[in-house]
A and B are shown apart, each in its own frame.
Chain A
Amino acid sequence: MTVSELEFRVAIRDALAEELERDASVVFFGEDVAAAGGVFKATPDLLERFGPDRVFDTPISELALAGAAYGAAVTGMRPVFEVMFGDFMALAMDSLVNQAAKFWYISREQGTVPLVVRSAVGAGGRFGAIHSQTHGTWFQGIPGLKIAFPSSPAEAKGLLKGAIRDDNPVVFLEHKRLYSVTGPPPPSGQEVIALGQAHVARAGENLTIASAGKGVADALAAADALASEGVSVEVVDLRTLRPLDLPTVLESVAKTNRLLAVEEGPRTGGWATGLLGAVAEEGLHDLDDAWILATDETPIPYSPTLEDAFLPDADAIAASVRSRLGVAA
């Protein structure tokens, strides 16, 4: 790692530190996030730097944390809280879905709900069925919520800063297989990424692959392999799963005429089906082909052989493209 490289977990910490520094209304709390610095070591030193009024440990009470963030957000604070593993978000649903997401609309815009809930998500870590899910789609159908899913260290920093400055409740997904990834820091002028804008991570001509989070990194690796085989892939990093930036996807598909959506999660009820539906509705005339690479409709398995086979990694993406396009490896 060169001096200028940024590690994903450091990007998260830097984004939090910069926003805590910038805005006195920002607070950060969760289970083991302060004194211990987080189980994925994403948040060390924040307690020491900002003190226990701004950064604090909490009971293992996900519902209370969500409620605390909601109540604080509607009374003048900008809370960021961590729900350690995304799977635990099932315990926090009522406050996020029925309180935070509804407030702006049903109050007739009396106030905003600027909160962020960060969680480690995703499979590949041998954590089993209930520490490996990507819970974004649980919230896909909830108006008022935003869902952000960064794909790289620079994206993580920019999107987290954007999420903290956003006046809406944001579900923020951090893929646990990305925490140790390093990459260039955000380019000058892109330190803050406003939510809702997708990004063309790689330009190409023959096929658009749309994904988010680790799926983007996998798609980029697959695109490298496919390039040597004569297939030019454009990779769209959706960045936010709600709202979905449909115009950027449509623009890409207008050029490539083919769309593959890669989702680490079951096809049924996932964001990828929604994206393909929207592209069909708005851009059918540009489409020659569209398909989805998702996971099986089972819980996530534990055993390494089973889990590896379950996940749509770079090899699986490349193989799917070859098969669909009739290209030999």
Chain B
Amino acid sequence: MPGLQSAAHVETAGAYLEAYGRMRLIREFEAAMHRLFLRGEVHGTTHLYAGQEAVAVGVCMALDPDDYVSGTYRGHGHALAKGTEPEPLLAEMLGRATGVCGGRAGSMNVIDLAHGLVGCYGIVGGSIAAALGAGLSAQRQGRVSVAFFGDGASNQAYFHECLNMASVKRLPVIFVCENNLYAEFTPMADATAGANIAARGAAYAVRSAVVDGNDLWAVRAAAGEAVTRARAGEGPTLLECQTYRHYGHSKSDPAPYRTKEELERWRERDPLTLARDRLLAEGVSTDDVAAVEQATTDALDRAVENALAAPYPDPAAEHATEYAP
């Protein structure tokens, strides 16, 4: 798969077409995960990212390949947006030896250091601290560090402690809150006082913005500004990207707490449809869009086929050590 991040960050229609392809890849990856879970090929549970694609992709468009990202247990989109290949990612979900972590991590805990993915975290808010620490390194290395997290995480100590410390130390960290309106099963109004996460940044002197998280262009613009500030030594930024997940919290959650009307309203603002419409409106040909869509589907089909054919890890051949030598 072509990488999203280029040193030039040319905001051409071509770059957005490529980004749209990556969003499609995430959507199709999660659809495949849904199917494979029902077939018993994905074990335990999984948390699907469909509906939120513009956030991860828009942010990662603004990054260099060696910048750092930390994701959540809903992290397949974060990994794919940062550059993890779909086949080793899917193989990891299936618990196969060819997985990006050899099947040791699973859906919630993916790590791909080669692509700057410091980790994905099964505990709400964990990504925030990982990005804070990566920010200490990034400050010395001329890089930036991004934490993806949900609205639920804004009530964790991680959020408050890390925003404060990043601000005090002027660290090049971008805190990207994916506000999908539900902390697991609980609506935001019942769990998040003030219902305004961006406003919490102001308390820590962290520049903050509310972003339409379903609009790839809006996310890319906000992230680009945050990256520029971070690289200039101007410290962290908090982006509250308002979006919506298409599936429930996890595979055990059919999300009965959401109304049909709400679902319909958000489906009308599906980030993929919005991106496709805008690409066409800006003069990208339907043939070019179709070619990207076909290439994405082909890539994912290959990934599914190969991942399903890959062996499970052999316990006798693991040779795991408790400690690094």
Contacts and interface: CB of A to CB of B under 8 A. Distances in A.
A302 interface: no
A67 interface: yes
A109 interface: yes
A103 B123 contact: no
Given A70-B129, A71-B136, A77-B136, A146 B109 contact: no
A79 interface: yes
A168 B122 CA distance: 21
Interface in A82-130: 91, 94-95, 98-99, 102-113
B70 interface: yes
Nearest to B103: A108
B150 to A, nearest CB: 16
A315 B105 CA distance: 50
B19 interface: no
B324 A104 contact: yes
Contacts of B17: none
Given A61-B161, A94-B123, A68 B132 contact: yes
A76 B134 CA distance: 9
A24 B126 CA distance: 27
A72 B158 contact: no
B323 A59 contact: no
Contact of B168 (A59, A66, A73, A95): A59
Contacts of B136: 27, 68, 71-72, 77, 79
Interface in B70-103: 70, 101-102
Contacts of A108: 101-102, 104-105
Interface string A46-60: 000000010010110
Interface in A188-238: none
B194 interface: no
Q: Which has the most chain A C-beta neighbours within 10 Å: B129, B138, B141?
A: B129
Contacts of A109: 324
A71 B70 contact: yes
Nearest to A95: B129
Contact of A110 (B111, B161, B168, B169): B111
B105 to A, nearest CB: 4
A271 to B, nearest CB: 16
A74 interface: yes
B324 A99 contact: no
B40 interface: no
Contacts of A146: 323
Contacts of B111: 103, 106-107, 110-111
A67 B320 contact: no
Interface stretch (B45-53, B112-120, B289-297): B112-120
A275 interface: no
B118 A74 contact: yes
A280 interface: no
Nearest to B162: A64
A222 B141 CA distance: 53
A167 interface: yes
A321 interface: no
Nearest to B145: A71
Given A106-B105, A111-B113, A99 B323 contact: no
A276 interface: no
A75 interface: yes
Interface residues of A, number: 44
Given A104-B324, A168-B324, A95 B118 contact: no
A107 B105 contact: yes
Contacts of B169: 56
Contact of B322 (A77, A94, A99, A144): A144
Contact of A95 (B109, B122, B126): B126
Contact of A98 (B114, B123, B132, B165): B123
B60 interface: no
Contacts of B235: none
B69 to A, nearest CB: 11
B155 interface: no
A243 B322 CA distance: 10
Interface in B164-191: 164-165, 168-169
Nearest to A97: B123
Contact of A106 (B101, B113, B133, B323): B101
B131 interface: yes
A197 B302 CA distance: 50
Nearest to B112: A110
Given A68-B133, A72-B136, A73-B133, A99 B119 contact: yes
A151 to B, nearest CB: 23
B137 interface: yes
A76 B132 contact: no
B58 interface: no
A143 interface: yes
Contact of B104 (A76, A95, A105): A105
B129 A105 contact: no
Contacts of B323: 104, 144, 146, 167-168, 243
A76 B135 CA distance: 11
A35 interface: no
Nearest to A143: B322
A206 to B, nearest CB: 35
Nearest to A102: B109
B29 interface: no
Interface of B: 68, 70, 101-102, 104-105, 109, 111-114, 118-119, 121-123, 126, 128-138, 140-141, 145, 157-158, 161-162, 164-165, 168-169, 320, 322-325
6 contacts: A58-B168, A61-B165, A67-B126, A99-B129, A106-B101, A110-B101
Given A63-B157, A64-B165, A77-B137, 9 more contacts: A68-B165, A72-B137, A99-B126, A99-B130, A103-B119, A107-B105, A108-B104, A110-B101, A243-B322
Top 7 A-B residue pairs of the complex, sorted by shortest distance between their CB atoms: A71-B133, A67-B129, A64-B161, A61-B161, A75-B137, A108-B102, A107-B111
